[in-house]
Every structure is written in C-alpha cells, then in structure tokens.
Homo-oligomer: A and B are copies of this chain.
Amino acid sequence: MASVRNLLVFRQLFHKETSTYTYLLACKQTMKAVLIDPVLDCVERDLKLLRELGVQLVYGINTHVHADHITGTGKLKQALPDCKSVLGSKSGGRADIFVDQSERLKFGNLMLECRSTPGHTNGCTTFVLHDRAMAFTGDALLVRGCGRTDFQQGSPSTLYESVHSQILSLPKHYKLYPAHDYKGFSVTTVEEELAHNTRLTKSKEEFIKIMDNLNLPYPKRIDESLPANLICGVTDPVSS
C-alpha cells in the first residue's frame, strides 16, 4: 500500500497580478481533488491541469470571501458540475457546503480539518492536512505577516487569537501555505513564524496597535470582488 505521503498530488499555483496562491491537492489512489482559493482569471489553466493530471475536482474551496480578486469556484462548477463550492459558515456568503470549526472535508483517502480563523474576515477558515503536516491559512497568516483587519468584519484582536490558538499551536514542523505572498515566498513553518513573524511575535496589545495604524489604501478590486465572491463566483450556480 502506498504510504500516506505518497498519496498526495500537490501543486502550488500563482496568479501574478494579485499575488494569489491557489492550491491543488489530489489523492493518488482515487484521483479525487480539491482546489483551495482558485482565481477566476486562471480557471482555464486550472481546468487544463486537472485534465492533464487525470484528477476529478470534488471541492472548490474558498478560505474566505476575497476582496482583491474574484474566486474561480463559480466558473469551475459550470465546467465540472459535480464540484461543490465550500466556504466558512460565518462568511455571510453563499456556497454548496458551509464548514465550521473541526469539520472534516474528505477527498478520496485524504482529509482536511477545518479550523475557524476569523479576524481578517468573519468566515476565514484554515484547512489542515494533518497526514502531510500542511496547513492552508488563507489571509489569516501570511509569510512573516498577516492579512489586514480594517474592513470586512476585520478585528486585530480576533485575528491574534485565531492565529495563536488555531495555527501557531500546530506542531512546529507543520508547513504553512498562505493565500498570498508579495515578496516571492511560497511557504513557511509554524516554527519560523513563531520566531520571525514581524507582527504576530508581538504582544496582543502591540499587535492591535500595529494593525490599527497600517493606513492601507482601499483594495483596488474590492467593489467588483466582494459581491461576486459572496456568491462563490459570478457564475456560481449554487444548488440551494
């Protein structure tokens, strides 16, 4: 029997314009696959890759309702009607499947644990693949940073609690894969972020002060992205 490690097909994909990472995970025994945070502009690329790898997409997962790009889950579902969209239950958006703390998403012989990590948005979810010591943190934790907390129900206090209790409490060797990176990093570990995260190594009070004083510009694509992402993609034929 193949070891668990050899069960996984894993691809990290990048959308350069918004510096967004999309993750393809598939079970080699059953060829069932999920995409985490697919981007609308890249759906044709991703569909071609799924075909070439011979895998079947069962879930199009969004870690949260993105403000900077439109999710690809709607278009993916049009092309692949058996695929279900997935979103955190507290997101306020629409999806085929809503996930809450501790729920599990199975694809073939692999399983993702869902961890609620609000603070960037209310519905933010981190997905953990314990078999491979990997976690997909969305915008809750970025390499050496974190997502902003100044819109979409953002709360620095909540984010601090989420990241420390749900992500940095994982074993030190766990690899953390963010939804974005702007400096060319692709992955980090719990150990690295506990030692070197520029914001989350501070006290909660200092962290809140940092986040409240970022004075970031209004996100460029938020006005088109949010309404579309609340329904899991502009063309999402949600079953319900």
Binding site for B on A (CB under 8 A): 5, 11-16, 19, 22, 42, 45, 49, 52-53, 183-187, 192, 195-196
A4 to chain B, nearest CB (A): 13
A47 to chain B, nearest CB (A): 13
7 A-B residue pairings within 8 Å (CB atoms): A11-B186, A11-B187, A12-B186, A12-B187, A16-B16, A52-B195, A52-B196
For A195, list chain B residues within 8 Å (CB). Answer: 52
Tell me whether chain A's interface is mostly helix, strand or loop, or mixed.
mixed
Given contacts A52-B192, A52-B195, A15 and B184 within 8 Å (CB-CB): yes
In whole angstroms, what is the CA distance A45 to B15 when docked?
A: 21
Nearest CB in chain B to that of A192: its residue? B52
Known pairs A45-B183, A52-B192. 17 more at Cβ < 8 A?
Answer: A5-B5, A11-B185, A12-B12, A12-B187, A13-B184, A13-B186, A14-B14, A14-B184, A14-B186, A15-B184, A16-B16, A16-B184, A45-B184, A49-B185, A52-B195, A53-B192, A186-B186
CB contacts (< 8 Å) of A184 on chain B: these are 13-16, 22, 42, 45
Residue of B nearest to A188 (CB): B11
Question: Which B residues are CB-close (under 8 A) to A15?
Answer: 184
Closest chain B CB from A85 CB (angstroms): 21
Question: For A11, A49, A195, which residue has the most chain B Cβ atoms within 10 angstroms?
Answer: A49
- What CA separation (Å) do A19 and B17 show in the bound complex? 12
Alpha-carbon distance A12/B11, docked complex (angstroms) = 12
In whole angstroms, what is the CA distance A52 to B197 when docked? 11
> How far is the CB of A237 from the nearest CB of chain B, in Å?
26
Contact pick for A13, options B16, B42, B49, B185, CB 8 Å = B185
